[in-house]
Each structure stands twice: as C-alpha cells, then as structure tokens.
Copies of this chain bind each other. A is one copy, B any other.
C-alpha cells in the first residue's frame, strides 16, 4: 500500500529517514520554511541537497507525482518540498516560479499571522486574499505550485478556494466539529475545499485532537469516517504534522519568528509550552500501520484505506504539480 504523509516537520537524520522508509512511507511533504526569507530558504534547500547526496539510498526529491512511484519501487522515501508560509518569496511575484525551479511544490499563503497574501488563523480579523495574494495565486496556478491554507483564517481560505483556478489543499488540520481549535477547519471550509476538488489532510498534532495527546486511535479514525460522509472518500488523506527531534528553541521560532517581543505560546500555554506528547499510537513514522488498522476497525474497506493512506494524495499531486495553462 502506498503511504504519503501530507506534512511532517522533522529534524532529519539518517536514522529518521530509515525509520520512515522502514515504516512503509513512500513520500513526505516536508517543511522548508516558517518565517525564513529568500536567502534563508535557499540555505535550507541547500541542506536538503546535501541530504539527497548523503542519503541517496533512502530518499529522493519529488518533482512530479511519478517520482513517488519511483520512490516506492526503489524502497526509498520521496521528499516533497513545501513552505508553511509565503515569507520565502518576500515581496517578489517572480520568486514563485524561481522557487518552483528549486522543486518547491506546496506553499501556504500565511502562517498564523497576517502575511502579504492572506490572513493567518491567529489574527483577530480576516480581510481575505490581498492584491498581491491574487497575483501569487494566479502565478502558483500557472507554474504548478499547490496552495495550502492549513494555517490561514477562514475568509482567506474560502477566497483562495474561489480565486484559485486549480484545487487547493489543507495539508494538516481537522474539523472543528471534532475539536474546536483556531487551527482546525469549519464544515463550511471543508465543504468548499473538497467540493472544488481540494484535499484535506488529517492532523495528528495533539493540539488539533480531541483530548489532545490522549486522543484515541478510534476517535481519530471515527472523525475520518464522519468527515468522509460529506467529503466523499477521494478528498482526504493524512497530514500527520509529525514533529520529531527538535528542541524548544525551534518551537519558539515557529511561534514567534522575529515578530514577537514576548513569548507567544501558540496553541500551548505558559504551563504547557513545550512540544506536545504524541499519541501512543502515532509516535513516529513507524506507526502508519496503526492508522491502517484503526481505519479498518471503524469500517473502511481495504480499497478505501489505500486511498486515505496515500492514493488520494498521489492522484491530487499528479494533477497539481504540472504547469497549468
């Protein structure tokens, strides 16, 4: 069975690549930038070039969906480059195609805060897609870079779905009806997303889960079953948001970038500020088997499980990573 993870953020080592490969993962959408500017992003991409050289027996870059099948055949993990924010393109429309040339295939239009393109989910008010945002969406459509609204606010997300000529994605979030959090998505958003051909990746990051780190596998899989009743089986996947091997300073960077004067706890709190504990049934990339079993337990067929675990992402990426008209 093909397994694709719609988002991870891992401090990669040879051991962790091996763990993912041995866990049966065929492709992972990895995070290249949160607040990084163009130069910093290129440094991060260069780090990946080094990893591709050092670990060519374990990983390969994904430029088109077919590269994921190559990864599967050669028992390696395909790496899909993505940005969790638009900071890498700074104020330059021309940088969209430039970043596509660096193999970046997915970009979020905002990360928690207001960006030059769209509003983030932690702002008090959402003005939707900006003038520059409309330009960038058109350009992303043209080159074949997927719009991801995981950390964006509701109105901006609905407008992105409407403005984009190609289906978009929310790679890692859950329905607010399952767990009410600023980062989760309303039924309105999920319906607009999936009815337009977009993909929702279900997140296993504890702050997005009912009962947090103690969320049960069954509750998680029932959420998927409930969601699929309205979206259909073909518009959902997993975007585990697995974060591994980082210390607290990385979480501070993700939350506060260079913009906050005092500590911002994001989804956490002063008492609970550190990386959350993963649910026991999904501690690492070794645990995708637990997900398949859980999905089976709540009644999904083998064919349906194959779609959720990777088949839907493959199909979506196959249509999305090619240049548009």
Binding site for B on A (CB under 8 A): 35, 37, 87, 90-94, 113-116, 119, 122-128, 130-133, 135, 138-139, 257-261
Contact = CB atoms under 8 A, between A and B. Distances in A.
Given A257-B91, A258-B92, A259-B93, A122 B131 contact: yes
Give the secondary structure class of A's interface: loop
19 contacts: A37-B90, A92-B258, A92-B259, A113-B130, A113-B132, A114-B131, A114-B132, A116-B259, A122-B131, A123-B127, A123-B130, A124-B128, A125-B127, A126-B127, A127-B127, A131-B259, A132-B259, A135-B261, A139-B261
A309 to B, nearest CB: 37
A254 to B, nearest CB: 14
A94 B256 CA distance: 13
Given A113-B116, A115-B116, A127-B123, A35 B261 contact: no
Contacts of A130: 113-114, 123
Contacts of A132: 113-114, 259-260
Copies in the assembly, this chain: 2
Nearest to A138: B261
A303 to B, nearest CB: 43
Contact of A91 (B35, B123, B128, B139): B35
A94 B128 CA distance: 28
6 tightest A-B CB contacts, nearest first: A127-B127, A125-B127, A114-B130, A132-B259, A92-B258, A91-B258
A119 B133 CA distance: 13
Nearest to A155: B125
- Of A35, A115, A123, A259, most B-chain CB atoms within 10 Å: A259
Contacts of A90: 37, 90
A231 to B, nearest CB: 29
A130 B124 CA distance: 8
A259 B91 CA distance: 6
Nearest to A38: B37
Nearest to A37: B90
Contact of A113 (B35, B122, B131, B260): B131
A125 B123 contact: no
A258 B35 CA distance: 19
A90 B89 CA distance: 12
A91 B139 CA distance: 23
